[in-house]
Structure formats: C-alpha cells, structure tokens
Structure 1
Amino acid sequence: MKGSLFAFLGGAFITLQGVANAHISQDIGTWQTATITQFAGFVLAFIILLFVKDEKWQMLTKVKPLYLTSGALGAIIIFSNVTSIHKIGVTISISALLIAQLCMTYLVDLTGWFDVVKQKKRPLQFIGISMMIAGVMILGY
C-alpha cells in the first residue's frame, strides 16, 4: 500500500513539476530551468538527508559508476518534458511519458538491465501497454 501511495505521489509531482517548469522556461529558457530544478532538488534532498542522518555515505564507493550518472538523466528528462509540454500540451506529454516509462520498464524487466531480476513476458502486459498507446492516440485527436 505504501509503495502504491508513493508511486501515485511521484506521478502527481512529475506532472506538477512539468507544468511549473514549462512556465519557468518561458521566462528564462529550458536548460536554465533544468539547472534550477536540479539544484533545488539537490538542496531539498540534502536538507532531508541531514535530518534523516543516514550513515551510508561510506557505501558511495561501492556504487557502480554507471549508476552515478543517473542524476544527469534528470536534466534530459526535464528538458524533454518541458519541450513536449510547450509543443503538445500537458495531457499528451504526460501520457506519452507514462507510455515511455511502461515500455522501458517492460524492457528492463525483460532483459535484466541494471542488475534487475529478469521477469517473464506476459501477453497481458503487452496488451495493457498497447491499450494505453491507443488511449493516448484517441486523446490526441
């Protein structure tokens, strides 16, 4: 239940962040917006970390270098999200984002990328993703 709640909150906040960033970028530019957003996220995460007092800093050296680049993906995510909202609107942008997430997670589960335990392909998953794509196409028209 807790996982579903956090997933729901994450989805809601992705949408709110995208809309806010789209407005900010109109005034200062998209890459500037990505920079500010990433910095604000760093500051908030750091403040929370200070209060949580998690002592796992020593484990940083054990993290694979590939995984340490994940923060850089955030800049690309923000740029892509803001640009798509400007071009095609919030509803279609977020719908496409969700479909891309589903397709990528399906691929990660299928292949075991990033040391994820491989999952079996299920036809219903493919059907579900196909239905979402059809739904977005209907939304777009």
Structure 2
Amino acid sequence: MILLFLISGLIAGTSIPVQTSINSKLGRKVGSPFLSSLISFFIGTLTLLVLTLSIDHRLTFAAAAFRVNPWWVWIGGGILGVCYLTSNILLLPKLGAALTVVTTLCGQMIMAICIDEFGWFGVPIHEFNLPKLIGVVCMLAGVILMKRF
C-alpha cells in the first residue's frame, strides 16, 4: 500500500513543473505574476467549488470550528500558496523549470524535516537522523550541480 502512495506522490509531483511553466507563461501574457496567480487561484477555486459540491454535497461546516482552531489555520495555507505560486512564476524565467522545481523542493524538504523534528502544527514527531541528513545534503549538492552545469 505504501508503494501506491509513493507512486501517487510521484505522479502528483509531476504537476508542479507543468503548473509552474503554464503560470509563468500566463504571467508573461497578462503582464503580471500577481494577476497570473490570481487567475490560477480563481480557476482553482471554481474547480474546488464544483468538486466540493459534487463529492461533499455541501459548502458549510460547523461554526464552532472558528472558535476551536487558531487563526493561522484559516489563512496560512492560502497566503503561503500565493507566495509559493507567485515565487515559481517569478523564478522560472530566471532559473528554468528544472532549477526552479529542485530549489523549491529543497526548501520544502528542509522545512518538512523541521516540522517533523519539532512536531510543529500538531504533526507527529519523526526524529532527524543521518539518512535524512545525507538526503538533504544530496539535494543541496544537486541544486549546486544543476546551477553550475
């Protein structure tokens, strides 16, 4: 079963360079990385609206959820999504698709290790170890190699 999840993750990951390339081109066509992000999020919102209505058959949730969850749960993902998407739009023309993806992936891995190590955001702790260190060092070396050659 874990192999199926790993394969699913790899397939999902293929969408990132495609999305980055498409949104970067859109940014050039509309003359603004922010407008490109807005269009992308608007279309994404419409898609999620259709999916939510089709699958969940509702658009509501318990109002008590506002009281029991911290403020950052409600806005953090959206703000960080804008930062990530818009950064990719700005980086792709300067770095190319491959270096943009591997650089942001390296940043994701470093932050993910910190989240796992310290249990931030309620995530179960997964301790940092030598194999993880070697993996991150290899990723950083990959970024350097891709930039140089």
TM-score for the superposition, normalised by structure 1:
0.91
Q: Which residue in the other structure is 2:34 paired with?
A: 31
Paired with 2:93 and 2:63, the residues of 1 have a C-alpha distance of 38
Q: Which residue in the other structure is 2:74 paired with?
A: 68
* Structure 2 residues not aligned, in runs of 5+: none
Paired with 1:27 and 1:132, the residues of 2 have a C-alpha distance of 33
Deviation at 1:59, TM superposition (A): 4.1
Q: Which residue in the other structure is 1:106 paired with?
A: 113
Paired with 1:76 and 1:95, the residues of 2 have a C-alpha distance of 17
Pick from 92, 96, 107: which aligns with 1:89? Answer: 96
Which amino acid in the other structure matches residue 109 of structure 1? Answer: D
The reply on whether 1:115 has 2:143 as its aligned counterpart is no
Aligned residues: 141
* Structure 1 residues not aligned, in runs of 5+: none
Paired with 1:49 and 1:138, the residues of 2 have a C-alpha distance of 43
Equivalent residues in 2 for 1:28-67 (5 A)? 28=30, 29-53=32-56, 57-59=60-62, 61-62=64-65, 63-67=69-73
Q: Which contiguous aligned blocks of 4+ residues in structure 1 show a shift greater than 3 angstroms? A: 54-57
Pick from 72, 80, 84: which aligns with 1:77? Answer: 84
Paired with 1:37 and 1:119, the residues of 2 have a C-alpha distance of 34
Kindly report the root-mean-square deviation, in angstroms, between the aligned alpha carbons of the 2 structures.
Answer: 1.7
Specify whether residues 60 and 98 from structure 1 end up closer, same or farther in structure 2 by C-alpha distance, changes over 3 A only.
farther
Q: Give the secondary structure class of the aligned counterpart of 1:81.
A: helix
Deviation at 1:18, TM superposition (A): 0.1
Paired with 1:10 and 1:73, the residues of 2 have a C-alpha distance of 19
Is the CA contact (8 Å cut-off) linking 2:53 and 2:59 kept in structure 1?
no
TM-score for the superposition, normalised by structure 2:
0.87
Is the CA contact (8 Å cut-off) linking 2:52 and 2:59 kept in structure 1?
no
Which amino acid in the other structure matches residue 66 of structure 1? Answer: W
Specify whether residues 46 and 60 from structure 1 end up closer, same or farther in structure 2 by C-alpha distance, changes over 3 A only.
farther
